[in-house]
Structure 1
Amino acid sequence: MNVQAQNYWDAFWKDKEMPTSISAWQFGGSPDVLAQLVVDKVKTATCSGRVFYELEKEPLPKVDDYSIVLNSKDEPVCIIRTSEVTITPMNKVSEAFAYAEGEGDRSYDYWKKVHVQFFTEALREVDLEFSEDMLLVCERFELIDVK
């Protein structure tokens, strides 16, 4: 976590009991646009390929994890709390989840198109091939604070 994110986190929790699980990260693809969708309460879900957690030896998110969402300059934008985590094959993601991701016209078709493209490119970078049944870590979250 960078200094700006840590200062934001510390200031937000100043007179409250601070949770122990916190991370700071950017959304892939378009960090500024996606962070703004969270601030606008349009984006309430996100997903990532489970394989990326395995490759990076990162723990899977859990309910009640807190995250500082960063913009493309690694500046803190807001704090979110994870409210649900499921592992789902990409081709089984629901229309409701695609809508909650808040991107484009919020349709399943749009969601699928951009996620196939994103995951195909990201997997290619680590010498893996995209498959429509790849496992996704699907998270729902709530906005806690805006910087």
Structure 2
Amino acid sequence: MSNEPTSELPPVDLAAAAQMWADYRNSCATDPGDYVVEYFGDSAELAEALLHQVTHGQKRATSSLENDYLAENEPLPRVGSHWIACDGSGTPKIILRTSEVTLKSFDQVDADFAFAEGEDDRSLASWRREHEKFWKRTQQADFAKQWEPAMTGVPGERIVCERFEVVWPRS
């Protein structure tokens, strides 16, 4: 993860995402349900870098703060949910399906999950260091001031640990 974003994320191309979803849905035997359209990261450069890690096979997990979902009044990801990941220009590139979701305190995230995130050297120490920097940078000032690596794991302070698989385009 980059410590500082260098360029803002442009709007996603919703028409292209809808077409990608239609192509995927038409290839499925059963209705895959709904989807969201998202980026990885908080800058165009980070979105590109993390998407590259997914498309080249090493990144199969991601994490976010539960309070981000609460602040936006959005549901947490669930097993079987889909999302379309965009590159740094807002162009949809792949469709992901969530295969596992767990809620953990920061200090409960383990080395296996850090490795699955596929970032930096894939170690737990690196995961903790870079995610703490990222979340301190991207969260509300009050939250960032209160950040403690051994957060209690109560609702609003948990990490949403999500594993996924690439389902489109099919390989």
Alignment TM class, shorter chain as reference: over 0.9
Instruction: Show the counterpart of 2:143.
Output: 128
Q: Mind listing any 5+ residue stretches in structure 1 that lack a counterpart? A: none
Matched, 1:21 2:44: no
> Counterpart amino acid of 2:72?
E
Provide the aligned length of Structure 1 versus Structure 2.
146
Secondary structure in 1 aligned to 2:115?
helix
Which runs of 5 or more residues in structure 2 are unaligned?
1-11, 152-156
Tell me which moved more, 53-62 or 23-32.
23-32
Compute the TM-score of the two structures, normalised by the length of structure 2. Answer: 0.80
Q: Which amino acid aligns with 2:68?
A: F
Q: Name which of structure 1's ranges 7-16 and 27-36 shifts more when overlaid on structure 2.
A: 7-16
C-alpha contact (below 8 Å) 1:39/1:146 kept by paired residues: no
Query: How far apart in 1 are the matches of 2:159 and 2:101?
Result: 10
- TM-score using structure 1 length: 0.92
Distance 2:35 2:106 in 1: 26
Question: Where in structure 1 do 4 or more consecutive aligned residues deviate above 4 Å?
Answer: none
| SS state at 2:96 partner | strand
Tell whether the 8 Å contact from 1:83 to 1:141 is kept in structure 2 after alignment.
yes
The residue number in structure 2 matching 1:106 is 122
Once the two structures are TM-superposed, the CA of residue 12 in structure 1 deviates from its matched residue by: 2.0
The 10-residue stretch of structure 1 (126-135 or 33-42) with the greater mean CA deviation from structure 2: 126-135
The yes-or-no answer on 1:52 pairing with 2:37 is: no
RMSD (Å), alpha carbons: 1.6
CA distance in 1, matches of 2:56, 2:169: 10
Partner of 1:73: 89
